[in-house]
Structure 1
Amino acid sequence: MQRKSILSCSSSSSSDFHSWLTQVFGAMGGYYGMAVLVGVACLVMTSEGGATCSGVEGRAGVDGAPGRDGWPGVKGEKGEPAAMAEGPVDAHVLQRLKGEMGMRGSQGTMGPKGYAGDLGPAGLAGLPGAPGPEGKRIISGKSSPHQARSAFSAMRTLSAYPPFERAVTFQTVVVNQDNDFNKNTGYFTCRVPGFYYFSFHSVAKVGMCLRISSEAVNNLGFCDYNTRNSDQVMSGGVVLQLTAGERVWLTSFKDAQPDSVTKDVRDKFIIFNGFLLFSSPV
């Protein structure tokens, strides 16, 4: 913007005015006539007393319109990578950098065994397991024909009262395996060592006492006193372990019965049984 103003001048002598006029002529060129007029005016004012003349200040000009935005510049080229610094490297920087995996080291020595910790609370019961496979059926075996056997059963049917402290004899043998029992003597003789079961039953209208006697153990007695004059049954039994050759028999004995019972001739019945449970190991 060019600011316009009225030319002002100030002079105190003619030599000064002449110098000033020369400068104006050089600056204004073709406007020579106008310069002469201005110079004459200033000279007149100077001759009248050396007064100073000046023009009135002009107004500021109006701003021009803004110019257009420029076009974007061309993208710059990629910069060069930074050079690694020489000298010691920060250890913390190296820890953040991932290097190549090294070789696996050898296993270290086992440390000492630690102390046992406190027992924790019991856990919840687990789920039941799956059922196991079905078992195989086992065929039941049959007894060997050579397996040891021994059994007997004999009956006494005499009406006479069996004599005291004597082996009871029998009239009929129902079972007698390998003739281990002798009905005439009343003795069973062990042939197969093992465990046996012996029992007896009696029916009579009078009191009677019978004991299972054996060479293996103490005698075992049973008594039944009949005062009702009717048939009364008495029974007894025992398990004995016998060795080969030992005998077992049935004995009548007197306990609290009167002597008159020995003279009783009413019907009486006694049965004596025995059999092998299982043989003893060899």
Structure 2
Amino acid sequence: MGGCHDQVVLVGVVLLLSTVQCDVSCKGVDGQAGQPGAPGRDGWPGVKGEKGEPAVMPDGPVNPSVLLKLKGERGSLGPQGVMGPKGYRGDVGPSGKPGAPGIRGPDGKSIGHGQGSTNHEIYSAFSVIRTLKSYPPYDQTVKYQTIVVNQLGDFNQATGEFYCRIPGVYYFTFHSVAKVSMCLAIKSDALDLPLGFCDSNQRNTYDQVLSGGVVLELRNGEKVWLESFRDNQKDTDKQDSKDKQIIFNGFLVFSNPL
């Protein structure tokens, strides 16, 4: 009884579906696009990869010492840069240790002693003045009338010459004052040629000063003196009788060891 009822219902459904006709106007409306979903979370870091193989050259593995030799050629020198500012002065360092004492030098040698000297040092010096009004004769040693200084008596007033008794270095100088032209020369056994000095006074109305000097290294027995000589002087100059003076000086600068 129940089975027959089920069959009747199934037949009714089939008939209903077969009688219903669906045209184009009965299709459904297109749906709207859905909203994008939220971004997902970052994934976990991946596992570290394996170490790569070393580089190889055509003939085998790379040798680090070979790579150093393969550096390029040195480039040309660039231009010099601008000098930087001067740095600050550093602090003074600590004092060093005292050095070892030096070797004792040889004993000094005495070269004599002068009057009143207690330290065995001697000094040779002289200063003389010619006060005659006459013109000093040409090519003759100048003679002097006044002795200002003549320590140790090394200057001979009679000959007008300084006589060296203490070998060493000396300084000699002279000054003349006259109203006529004057030429004087320093002569010495230590000089190959005389040292001449001239001063021309054309008007002969005012005092003319002539000066000269020289440093000489003298040996024992060598002499130094002054001579007058002819240059451009007029004949009237030699006949002049006005006041004139010639001062001749010399002294030992330092002596040479014996």
TM-score bracket for this pair, using the shorter chain length: 0.5 to 0.7
Partner of 2:158: 184
The 3-state SS of whatever aligns with 2:152 is helix
Q: In structure 2, what residue type is equivalent to 1:223?
A: C
Equivalent-residue separation in structure 2 for 1:192 and 1:267 (angstroms): 36
Q: Which has the higher contact order (CA 8 A, sep 6+)?
A: 2
The 3-state SS of whatever aligns with 1:281 is coil
Partner of 1:262: 238
1:131 to 1:164, Cα distance in 2 relative to 1, 3 A: farther
Residue among 204, 216, 222 paired with 1:240 = 216
Percent identity between the two aligned chains:
57
Partner of 2:91: 128
List, as ranges, runs of 4+ consecutive aligned residues in structure 1 with deviation greater than 4 Å: 130-133
Q: In structure 2, what residue type is equivalent to 1:182?
A: N
Q: In structure 2, what residue type is equivalent to 1:253?
A: F
Deviations 1:68-89 (A, max 9, x none): xxxxxxxxxxxxxxxxxxxxxx
* 1:51-66 equivalent positions in 2, closer than 5 A: none
Shift of 1:206: 0.1
Q: In structure 2, what residue type is equivalent to 1:222?
A: F
1:266 to 1:126, Cα distance in 2 relative to 1, 3 A: closer
Equivalent-residue separation in structure 2 for 1:151 and 1:234 (angstroms): 22
The 3-state SS of whatever aligns with 1:200 is strand
Residue among 239, 249, 255 paired with 1:273 = 249
1:126 to 1:223, Cα distance in 2 relative to 1, 3 A: closer
Deviations 1:37-88 (A, max 9, x none): xxxxxxxxxxxxxxxxxxxxxxxxxxxxxxxxxxxxxxxxxxxxxxxxxxxx
Shift of 1:184: 2.2
The 3-state SS of whatever aligns with 2:237 is helix
The 3-state SS of whatever aligns with 1:239 is strand
Answering whether residue 199 of structure 2 is matched by residue 224 of structure 1, we say yes
Shift of 1:166: 0.4
Q: In structure 2, what residue type is equivalent to 1:129?
A: V
Residue among 135, 142, 145 paired with 2:119 = 145
Answering whether residue 159 of structure 2 is matched by residue 196 of structure 1, we say no
Shift of 1:210: 0.3
Equivalent-residue separation in structure 1 for 2:243 and 2:90 (angstroms): 72
Partner of 2:180: 206
Equivalent-residue separation in structure 2 for 1:280 and 1:271 (angstroms): 27
Equivalent-residue separation in structure 2 for 1:244 and 1:179 (angstroms): 15
Q: In structure 1, what residue type is equivalent to 2:195?
A: L
The 3-state SS of whatever aligns with 1:235 is strand
The 3-state SS of whatever aligns with 2:128 is strand
How many residues align? The count is 150
Partner of 2:135: 161
Shift of 1:130: 4.2
When Rg is computed on C-alpha atoms for both structures, the one with the higher figure is: 1
Gaps of 5+ in 1: 1-123, 134-142
Shift of 1:144: 5.4
Equivalent-residue separation in structure 2 for 1:147 and 1:213 (angstroms): 28
Partner of 2:226: 250
RMSD: 2.0
Shift of 1:230: 0.8
Q: In structure 2, what residue type is equivalent to 1:226?
A: N
Equivalent-residue separation in structure 2 for 1:251 and 1:221 (angstroms): 9
Gaps of 5+ in 2: 1-86, 97-116
Equivalent-residue separation in structure 1 for 2:88 and 2:159 (angstroms): 70
